[in-house]
Structure 1
């Protein structure tokens, strides 16, 4: 505290590991067939083609938002990383059908805690894709973002991002 008071803000970065929120095949964000994600308009990240319909928390933190249609969840980690998990493409048009939320805005969550369950077969029938972008939406606080080189992810276990955060 004394150092910061007299010499200004330190440049020490904090670190955050982000686990996979889904089990499935890891894809580069650039392969998502939607320019909002593939061109990183919302932020950088990766995508997972899910093989099961359970979405879990990738971080310890807080639920910032569960979209009314339950197709997406916004989280803030304890270290301040903000994440968007957007299940499928054009799933907002399903109006919540096939999606069950197990958390609400303001809830505290732990890595591996269930956030959503999704009927993937219904999403395959009614939406463009089940591919799920996981986006860091506050990239301005990120000093560095290292993405996994794994091609398969296990929810709550596989680390998908190593992030250094500007403190």
Structure 2
């Protein structure tokens, strides 16, 4: 029993799709902050559905006040950003329903948020959702998904390994 208490947390993990939709390379995201990987490497999804789920087992680090993004930390320490739409900070929460709070523990596939892709698009914003590994200096990505359709909570977008 004591062995389990002191068990080292596994740093390597698969990151699953937080949304259903078409996976696109980060370099094709029409926003330089993401396409030039200023925040980190990752992929993006053009969502086909409004439900956003946790892509990893871990903890909610920060629900942005404007509800357009959630950052997570895996049990192994990798930091992940799910940024719903582009420039959507300007909507000040309109079209977003966050279903988690800071410090909450999550498993892959647990609900994070819903985001009304029709409202976001009607307001003139792009719904493409970057999924970013924020601490790439400590972790590496491999087996990165190409352009394909992904199902939220099921399909692996990339593997994360401790450097």
Same fold (TM over 0.5): yes
The answer to whether residue 102 in structure 2 is matched with residue 105 in structure 1 is: yes
User: Secondary structure at 1:70's aligned position in 2?
Assistant: coil
Out of 128, 142, 162, which is 2:159 matched to?
Answer: 162
Cross-structure match for 1:95: 92
Is the CA contact 2:68–2:89 (under 8 Å) kept in the aligned structure 1?
A: yes
Out of 9, 33, 58, which is 1:36 matched to?
Answer: 33
User: Secondary structure at 1:163's aligned position in 2?
Assistant: strand
Out of 14, 37, 43, which is 1:17 matched to?
Answer: 14
TM-superposed CA distance for 1:16, in Å, is: 1.1
Name which one, 1 or 2, has greater alpha-carbon Rg.
Answer: 1
Partners in 2 of 1:139 and 1:131 — Cα distance?
A: 22
Cross-structure match for 2:60: 63
Structure 1: gaps spanning 5 or more residues:
1-12
Cross-structure match for 1:72: 69
User: Secondary structure at 1:33's aligned position in 2?
Assistant: coil
Structure 2: gaps spanning 5 or more residues:
1-9
User: Secondary structure at 2:94's aligned position in 1?
Assistant: coil
The 4+ residue runs of structure 1 with deviation greater than 6 A are none
Q: Give me the TM-score of the superposition, normalised by structure 1.
A: 0.88
Give RMSD over aligned pairs: 1.3
Q: Give me the TM-score of the superposition, normalised by structure 2.
A: 0.91
User: Secondary structure at 1:147's aligned position in 2?
Assistant: coil
